[in-house]
Amino acid sequence: MAETKKLMRALAGETQAVPPVWMMRQAGRYLPEYRATRAKAGDFLSLCYTPELAAEVTLQPIRRYGFDAAILFADILLLPQALGADLWFAAGEGPRLSTITTPDELRALKPVDAIHETLAPVYETVGILSRELPSETALIGFAGAPWTVATYMIAGRGTPDQGPAHALKEADRATFEALLARITEGTVEYLSKQIEAGAEVVKLFDSWAGSLKGADFDRYAMEPAKQIIAALKERHPGIPVIAFPRGAGEKYVGFARATGADCVALDNSVPAEWAAEHVQVDGCVQGNLDPRHMVTGGQDLIDETRRIVRAFSKGPHIFNLGHGITPDADPDNVQLMLDTIRG
């Protein structure tokens, strides 16, 4: 069925009159059905690790809206947990991890081939989805990119400027690079198993790529993406990969060529018209509506949606937000966006 799926056609380089559409965090707290399932699970990690419930919340936005793709419900920090980091979620504060900042702490991590025992429920979720999704809906697997995952493992939490990771990079580059290498190797294994379980596309989320500048961006955002994509395509010829180096700015230019990505996802800080001229020339792009329009709605949402579709209309494009939909979004605005795209 792959060749008939709108998302797969865009990733193969086809320009379509109506672009395929899905949303980052489309299974999330803005939906009442998600909140009900989350309450049934008890806590966030239980939701991630209970395949029937994780599959259910993945399917909810497909049933409600008919998106062209579903993205596996999981979290980028499940891989660090599988590598041996302690992981918990503090109410109202987000994720917390045990930190990895010394050679001894790095050596205490599990070997990469041990991750699959912890992550087996995720692969089971992918299997359920591959069987239950509508035949026209593509299934996206994902992982965090090494730099972004490392920022959490080094700081033990999310930080506004990724300062602890930058500090370790400068103070003990050997430990920093060894951690990045371990995450890179683990990411290949993790995504490969998702593909084996039924994922048709995988996406690399480098949410904090924008805090890397100059040569550091090339070395720690671009190079790991290139290594992961090359390894996945060697194991799974033809598998499409979407890369999201959020905040890359000018570094979006040439990112697909440099890494082998089939599609570059764009945040909403770059104008669609600029990205069409400088990024889409290398192939498929994804994005990039400002998520605030899912809160405010109205004519501004309609106008911005039309502008983005028009800007990217001369090449392969997957419509999406520039970042994840927020919990305060109005579900009716999602429908308005879809009606505008498909109108």
Q: What is the tens place of the pLDDT at every residue in 136-180?
A: 999 999 999 999 999 999 999 999 999 999 999 999 999 999 999
pLDDT (mean) for 98-111 = 98
pLDDT at 294: 98
Domains and CATH numbers, the chain: 2-342 (3.20.20.210)
Lateral strand order in the sheet of 69-71: 69-71, 138-144, 201-206, 241-245, 263-265, 284-289, 317-321
To the nearest 10 degrees (0 to 180), the angle between helices 173-197 and 115-132 is 40
DSSP for 184-252?
HHHHHHHHHHHHHHT-SEEEEEETTGGG--THHHIIIIIHHHHHHHHHHHHHSTT--EEEEETT-GGGG
Query: What is the average pLDDT score of the chain?
Result: 97
pLDDT tens digit sequence for 52-83: 999 999 999 999 999 999 999 999 999 999 99
Which of these, 48, 31, 33, lies nearest to 332 by C-alpha position? Answer: 31
Which of these, 138, 170, 143, 141, lies nearest to 154 by C-alpha position? Answer: 170
Model pTM score: 0.98
Active-site amino acid positions = 25, 29, 38, 75, 152
The residues facing 205 across adjacent strands are 144, 244
Q: Which amino acid is at 11?
A: L
Work out whether strand 263-265 and strand 284-289 pair parallel, antiparallel, or are unpaired: parallel
Give the integer Cα–Cα distance in Å for 84 and 114.
9
Assess contact for 10 and 318: CB atoms under 8 A: yes
Give the integer Cα–Cα distance in Å for 133 and 137.
6
